[in-house]
Structure 1
Amino acid sequence: MMAAAPLYCVCRQPYDVSRFMIECDICKDWFHGSCVQVEEHHAVDIDVYHCPNCDVVHGPSLMKKRNNWHRHDYTEPDDGSKPVQAGTPVFIKELQNRIFASGEEILIRMKGEQVTPRYLERHGFNYPIGVTEMEALGLKLPAPTFSVKDVEQYVGGDKVIDVIDVARQADSKMKLSEFIKYFTKSHRPKVLNLISLEFSDTKMSELVEVPDVAQKMSWVENYWPDDSFFPKPFVQKYCLMGVKDSYTDFHIDFGGTSVWYHVLWGEKIFYLIKPTPANLALYEAWSSSPNQSEVFFGEKVEKCYKCVVPQGTTLLIPTGWIHAVLTSQDCMAFGGNFLHNLNIGMQLRCYEMERRLKTPDLFKFPYFEAICWYVAKNLLEMLKELREDSCPPPTYLVEGVKALIGALKTWLKREVTEPTSEVPDNIRPNHLMKELTKEIRYVEVREEEKKQERVELHLKHIISARRLREQQRHAPKVPSNLDILEQHTREVLKRLEVGPLEEVHGKLNKVSTASAAAAAESLEDNHLRLMLVNGRIIRDRPTSPSTEEAIQGMLSMAGLLCSPKPEKVASSQEPWWSSPNQCSRLEHREAPQHQRRLQGDKSPMDSQGNSSSEAWDNQGLPSPEMDYQYCDPSMSPPLHPSKRHAPNPPPISNQATKGLEHFLFFIS
């Protein structure tokens, strides 16, 4: 006959491991905390406990005496020699006075519509994102008037929850109804924080929808099969309720998950540290040290950023970021965790760190290894489809699969000594790893081929560039328009080598005309032909505006231009004689003067009755009032210098301009 199980408490029930019990220091009997109205977090404050039966005789329980405000065990004597511990009232006050780098240095401000999987796949998810404009983020939440009592109504007051005694940084269990009663009291003897209320399986789940980006990227939502032997992890929807001065020390979210937070009302302050290899190594050493609570980790690293998250703001924290949280005023927030493809390597690294730190299962991602096997199977199919479509996979995915293959191999080897297998029944692990390795080799070979092609193309460009430089080095220099003008001016100056002038009857005549005639004849062989039309010098082939402007500027400086009258001029591409109007005008105006000059007429009269000699100013240039047409000298024989009125012009210092002046005088 089996002995009956021992019965305890005033309720005379057997021992239940899930329920908190306390021992009476007088009668040594055990009692359920809920039966004797003693909460677990209150039990640590009792020095000597008297059960309801014993306190009738011995009086009420004796409480511990507070001796300090900076140690987790507040009964320690305050001799000033022990350092401040995290979460204590002294620590909170010091934390609020510390100076940190601004979170704006690393926080990416975005609108809800911008935070999409496509954006994160293109730009990476490596820095925290702050969202204040919620439209199109896909986040659905209760109104800001939603209270802690509403939470109790939707979740149920009997739900047992884990709360944190902030001053002691210790967990304890209590009913949600008791926590709500504590939260709504004006006097709170201690600071309690609730951060682990996952409500996916409650009525409150219908009031909350997670952001689209978290939903679409989540491994659990995309890869967890409905027929899995393992229960589906519920980490997508948390309700966080903390009173003022609640504090959670530095940590990395389980499994390296990314996390979204939304402050419904109140305010939270995040202290963020980038997950560099150096910072992660420091974090692991700090987490495993015996005096962890006495060292503020934010001072161990190069930079710790302070980020204030006010009411109505959503914060997304990427994989692996080390962070602590201070509730600066009573606050209700919602949040959730999700694994994804963008930072697989970092997620695996955080998981292995948790194993080395011997993190309790309660604070680890549920069935992390199982979901990694499911993900590996799905990523294999994805890689095959991309290869068949000749579409290279993104770099982050290739690197992630490589890290995943290494982790899966390690876990299989570990099974020999630690048989805690989470390999799903419908997966052949060795075959899966072999196929994944094969797909990665295909990608690497293709990448190597592309790299070789890029190198060859680069070499071709280098060779082509060298050949072009060699050709340019040995090729004759193509003269510019200004070079041609300068060359032509020099040739004209050489050809206009006229002798000294002598005065005959008060006029200046050339001693010799042979060189001038030879120059005129030689102009026909010159490849550069110039024409002055309405005060502008033009060529027999088009020139660039800059060249023409340069020429006009040179002539203007030398005073060789007369103001043109608006008049339609024949194209410089055609000879002057090709225009009948042009020829008739020249014949009508120029021929008579030419005849009179040949006859030695000293003062011919123009159509206006003015002397033609007066039409030239004191420099021998045409008067601005006169309209002269200049044509190609090779097509119209120049007048003999002795037959023309040529007053002696003053000298011009610029030799090239002087040559042009003589040249234009000559061809006119």
Structure 2
Amino acid sequence: MAAAPLYCVCRQPYDVSRFMIECDICKDWFHGSCVQVEEHHAVDIDVYHCPNCDVVHGPSLMKKRNNWHRHDYTEPDDGSKPVQAGTSVFIKELQNRTFPSAEEILIRMKGELVTTRYLERHGFNYPIAITEMEGLGLKLPPSTFSVKDVEQYVGGNKVIDVIDVARQADSKMKLSEFIKYFTNPHRPKVLNLISLEFSDTKMAKLVEVPDVAQKLSWVENYWPDDSFFPKPFVQKYCLMGVKDSYTDFHIDFGGTSVWYHVLWGEKVFYLIKPTLTNLALYEAWSSSPNQSEVFFGDKVDKCYKCIVPQGTTLLIPTGWIHAVLTSQDCMAFGGNFLHNLNIGMQLRCYEMERRLKTPDLFKFPYFEAICWYVAKNLLEMLKELREDNCPPPTYLVDGVKALISALKTWLKREVNEPTSEVPDNIRPNHLIKELTKEIRYLEEEPVGGSKPVKSQGSGVPLGSNGCLSTRATLERLCQARRARRAARQLREQQRHAPKLPTNLDILEQHTRDVLKRLEVGPLEEDPAFGAKVHAKFNKVSTASAAAAAESLEDNHIRLMLVNGRIIRWGSKVSSVNQCAESVKLGMLSMAGLLCSSKSETADSLQESWWPSPLEQAQHQRRLQGDKSPIDSQGNSSSEAWDNQGLPSPEMDYQYCDPSMSPPLHPSKRHAPNPPPISNQATKGKRPKKGMATAKQRLGKILKLSRHNRVFV
């Protein structure tokens, strides 16, 4: 494989991300940073000599300026060509122009009054100027914050896009180089920085977006955390411009609304209403070859001049066409946001960008993807509004209609021009169908017998039936929606969470564990008997028998009750206490597996459970009607049984079978016909196999133990 060609004095392969310049003598290419040539300076060089050729042929030759009103200042000034935007001549003429005052269309408000409630009620159709920041929720650095502080927080090596104002052209440079230019009193050029997004830098902590922009933002409200597409960062921009910086007329990408705050300095905005006529004129002007030679403000009825001094915040609605002049060195902060209030206008601006073939760099990132996310959320919102019998506001219904039309267009376009901005977890056709169904339902059968809420002249939404639809109604709706979501989440958690056992479940589970361990005994001590059992049942496991014998001490259970409810229980405890022993003995006595025998040590529990002669004598006495069996000492053991028929907890017991055969699980024994069950719960019903019988036994255990100190 051939080696990649090497360039520049550093002899490195080509890197598309780095600016390079060609030597007009040796035809070799050099990195601008290696030969101290910045990108915005390269356009001023007529003939470039690299450091090697510079020794022989002398320094590079610079272009000669012939005019001050054209982007190409080498053109001869014969007076036949008009002034172009951004040139020094243009700036002087612009400052001498007179414009209608923006007070005609500007809404001045206090920060605390600019809320989502106000905008939803009165609409967001005109620019808003805020001079009193309290209550706006906007957090900013102090007015002493300088461009050098920006470099410290963001990093000097960050590559940024700057605008050469006189040429209205972009170029790249490091932030440290721009800060050096900004702080230099001698500036051969006018450079403007308007695209420094710092959400992923340390400076992001110094700035908080206004509450109204945060609450309305599509990105903040609808963009999912698990999205395949990277989250758009358009919320926080730092704008640093020197005096006479100018940005020509434009609409912010995707028809986004904008908030600007001038930290220090001054900005002058030239504002034009986004009427259908003005938008058509703007699109024609943007696509014309002589765009820079025509001042767009002259093509419309009115272009308003709005001066934004230091400490003022300006909110510009969707679609407003505006140009910006920096009348003095200025630092400003701003951000863009999409919202539900003007969905139709946002989509119209996006389609205009597509027709104008706007580069992706200057478009809202993943605009179509976020529209799919919004459509999914708006569908849920419309359904909930219909369930709550609450009519949606008119702006939302109109926005959904426009969104449905756009989504259909994008799906058709996807066949020939795939953009792959449809999220994987969204079924586009089904989503469009459901949204259309909701809109049709609103048109054919309005919710609650009223049409969607309309904004009247007073700014208060009214239904067709004349009743007020206040913000309180919307807030109640939001609260109800949040409550339903919380309830759904709780149900999901309960569905996957383990169920808390009831009293009977605990005792039944313990009974099952004990009986399972007692199903067979240690048969290896009597081979002859073990052989007989093997021959008879053919299911005896000596390994499980040994484990059962070793785990006898694990059969105890401890219960903790509060108000008749078991709140704590354990089946493996090292110490034998009265509670655990009583419960165990009660269970085993109900199962018919318990008989008493006096033993002093735990070793007696591990001895063979085959009846001894003494035990056989006790069995014979019981068969003859003597209810007072004798112990190994010859004493009667009837004192060991209390009035309730339960053994005394002070005694140790062995497990034996009255029939002189190995004890079997109740399900394997031939039980006699049980007496009919007559309690109220099962009266007239046939008990279920296994589980119902076990619960009946446990119920009897609880009944017998009710007056004893069984539970602690």
What range describes the TM-score normalised by the shorter chain of this pair?
0.5 to 0.7
Once the two structures are superposed, residues 371-407 of structure 1 have per-residue CA deviations (whole angstroms, 9 ceiling, x without a partner) of 0000000000000000000000000000000000000
Once the two structures are superposed, residues 406-448 of structure 1 have per-residue CA deviations (whole angstroms, 9 ceiling, x without a partner) of 0000000001110112000000000000000011111xxxxxx
Q: Secondary structure at the match of 2:663?
A: coil
Structure-2 change in CA distance of 1:623 and 1:66 (3 Å): same
**RMSD (Å) for aligned C-alpha atoms:** 25.3
Shift of 1:537: 93
Any conservation in 2 of the 1:533–1:569 contact (CA below 8 Å)? no
Between stretches 559-568 and 230-239, larger displacement belongs to: 559-568
Between stretches 594-603 and 346-355, larger displacement belongs to: 594-603
Shift of 1:140: 0.2
Any conservation in 1 of the 2:155–2:175 contact (CA below 8 Å)? yes
Any conservation in 1 of the 2:597–2:654 contact (CA below 8 Å)? no
In the alignment, which residue of structure 1 is the partner of 2:6? 7
Shift of 1:657: 105
Shift of 1:523: 123
The answer to whether residue 286 in structure 2 is matched with residue 257 in structure 1 is no
Structure-2 change in CA distance of 1:550 and 1:402 (3 Å): same
Any conservation in 2 of the 1:107–1:128 contact (CA below 8 Å)? yes
What TM-score does the superposition give when structure 1 sets the normalisation length?
0.66
Unaligned runs of at least 5 residues, structure 2: 442-469, 483-490, 526-532, 569-579, 685-710
Structure-2 change in CA distance of 1:433 and 1:81 (3 Å): same
Q: Secondary structure at the match of 1:520?
A: helix
Structure 1 residue corresponding to 2:581, chosen from 542, 548, 551: 548
Distance in 2, Cα, partners of 1:56 & 1:500:
104
Structure-2 change in CA distance of 1:548 and 1:604 (3 Å): closer
Any conservation in 2 of the 1:531–1:631 contact (CA below 8 Å)? no
Shift of 1:292: 0.1
In the alignment, which residue of structure 2 is the partner of 1:583? none
Any conservation in 1 of the 2:520–2:662 contact (CA below 8 Å)? no
Any conservation in 1 of the 2:258–2:336 contact (CA below 8 Å)? yes
Distance in 2, Cα, partners of 1:620 & 1:432:
71
Between stretches 321-330 and 560-569, larger displacement belongs to: 560-569
Any conservation in 2 of the 1:620–1:649 contact (CA below 8 Å)? no
The answer to whether residue 103 in structure 2 is matched with residue 104 in structure 1 is yes
Between stretches 485-494 and 100-109, larger displacement belongs to: 485-494
Any conservation in 2 of the 1:102–1:307 contact (CA below 8 Å)? yes
Between stretches 494-503 and 70-79, larger displacement belongs to: 494-503
Between stretches 455-464 and 145-154, larger displacement belongs to: 455-464
Once the two structures are superposed, residues 565-624 of structure 1 have per-residue CA deviations (whole angstroms, 9 ceiling, x without a partner) of 9999999999999999xxxxxxxxx99999999999999999999999999999999999
Structure-2 change in CA distance of 1:404 and 1:567 (3 Å): same
Once the two structures are superposed, residues 240-275 of structure 1 have per-residue CA deviations (whole angstroms, 9 ceiling, x without a partner) of 000000000000000000000000000000000000
Between stretches 607-616 and 214-223, larger displacement belongs to: 607-616
Once the two structures are superposed, residues 35-64 of structure 1 have per-residue CA deviations (whole angstroms, 9 ceiling, x without a partner) of 111110000000000011110111110000
Between stretches 124-133 and 511-520, larger displacement belongs to: 511-520
Distance in 1, Cα, partners of 2:414 & 2:326:
42
Distance in 2, Cα, partners of 1:479 & 1:273:
70
Distance in 2, Cα, partners of 1:223 & 1:532:
48
Any conservation in 2 of the 1:131–1:314 contact (CA below 8 Å)? yes
In the alignment, which residue of structure 1 is the partner of 2:680? 655
Any conservation in 1 of the 2:503–2:565 contact (CA below 8 Å)? no
Unaligned runs of at least 5 residues, structure 1: 443-454, 540-546, 581-589, 660-665
Distance in 2, Cα, partners of 1:112 & 1:88:
37
Q: Secondary structure at the match of 2:512?
A: helix
Structure-2 change in CA distance of 1:501 and 1:125 (3 Å): same
Any conservation in 2 of the 1:268–1:310 contact (CA below 8 Å)? yes
Shift of 1:6: 0.5
Distance in 2, Cα, partners of 1:303 & 1:34:
47
Any conservation in 1 of the 2:258–2:337 contact (CA below 8 Å)? yes
Any conservation in 1 of the 2:235–2:334 contact (CA below 8 Å)? yes
Once the two structures are superposed, residues 186-231 of structure 1 have per-residue CA deviations (whole angstroms, 9 ceiling, x without a partner) of 0000100000000000000000000000000000000000000000
Distance in 2, Cα, partners of 1:330 & 1:576:
101
Between stretches 108-117 and 553-562, larger displacement belongs to: 553-562
Say which one has the larger Rg: 1
Structure-2 change in CA distance of 1:180 and 1:609 (3 Å): closer
Shift of 1:497: 135
Distance in 1, Cα, partners of 2:552 & 2:203:
101
Once the two structures are superposed, residues 510-555 of structure 1 have per-residue CA deviations (whole angstroms, 9 ceiling, x without a partner) of 999999999999999999999999999999xxxxxxx999999999
Any conservation in 2 of the 1:534–1:627 contact (CA below 8 Å)? no
Any conservation in 2 of the 1:533–1:631 contact (CA below 8 Å)? no
Any conservation in 1 of the 2:522–2:549 contact (CA below 8 Å)? no
Q: Secondary structure at the match of 2:415?
A: coil
In the alignment, which residue of structure 2 is the partner of 1:481? 503
Any conservation in 2 of the 1:533–1:629 contact (CA below 8 Å)? no
Structure-2 change in CA distance of 1:110 and 1:508 (3 Å): farther
Between stretches 506-515 and 322-331, larger displacement belongs to: 506-515
Distance in 1, Cα, partners of 2:538 & 2:204:
114
Structure-2 change in CA distance of 1:491 and 1:249 (3 Å): closer
Structure 1 residue corresponding to 2:591, chosen from 558, 578, 584: 558
Distance in 1, Cα, partners of 2:423 & 2:654:
100
Structure-2 change in CA distance of 1:260 and 1:175 (3 Å): same
Once the two structures are superposed, residues 600-653 of structure 1 have per-residue CA deviations (whole angstroms, 9 ceiling, x without a partner) of 999999999999999999999999999999999999999999999999999999
Structure-2 change in CA distance of 1:635 and 1:311 (3 Å): farther
Between stretches 488-497 and 217-226, larger displacement belongs to: 488-497
- Which residues in structure 2 correspond to 1:67-78 (within 5 Å)? 67-78=66-77
In the alignment, which residue of structure 1 is the partner of 2:245? 246
Shift of 1:492: 120
Any conservation in 2 of the 1:255–1:365 contact (CA below 8 Å)? yes
Structure-2 change in CA distance of 1:484 and 1:65 (3 Å): closer
Any conservation in 2 of the 1:619–1:647 contact (CA below 8 Å)? no
Distance in 1, Cα, partners of 2:283 & 2:413:
22
Any conservation in 1 of the 2:242–2:328 contact (CA below 8 Å)? yes
Between stretches 629-638 and 384-393, larger displacement belongs to: 629-638
Q: Secondary structure at the match of 1:337?
A: strand
Distance in 1, Cα, partners of 2:349 & 2:406:
12
Structure-2 change in CA distance of 1:414 and 1:558 (3 Å): closer
Distance in 1, Cα, partners of 2:10 & 2:681:
123
The answer to whether residue 275 in structure 2 is matched with residue 276 in structure 1 is yes
Distance in 2, Cα, partners of 1:644 & 1:12:
92
Q: Secondary structure at the match of 2:205?
A: helix
Any conservation in 2 of the 1:489–1:656 contact (CA below 8 Å)? no
Structure-2 change in CA distance of 1:26 and 1:628 (3 Å): closer
Distance in 2, Cα, partners of 1:254 & 1:67:
36
Between stretches 457-466 and 257-266, larger displacement belongs to: 457-466
In the alignment, which residue of structure 1 is the partner of 2:488? none
Distance in 1, Cα, partners of 2:395 & 2:33:
52
Runs of 4+ in 1 over 2 A off after TM superposition: 455-467, 469-539, 547-580, 590-659
Any conservation in 2 of the 1:523–1:634 contact (CA below 8 Å)? no
Any conservation in 1 of the 2:522–2:542 contact (CA below 8 Å)? no
Distance in 1, Cα, partners of 2:604 & 2:206:
82
Structure-2 change in CA distance of 1:107 and 1:638 (3 Å): farther
Structure-2 change in CA distance of 1:264 and 1:342 (3 Å): same
Shift of 1:236: 0.1
Shift of 1:73: 0.2
Structure-2 change in CA distance of 1:634 and 1:604 (3 Å): closer
Any conservation in 2 of the 1:254–1:365 contact (CA below 8 Å)? yes
Distance in 1, Cα, partners of 2:111 & 2:196:
26
Structure-2 change in CA distance of 1:554 and 1:425 (3 Å): closer
Any conservation in 2 of the 1:49–1:62 contact (CA below 8 Å)? yes
Distance in 2, Cα, partners of 1:271 & 1:139:
24
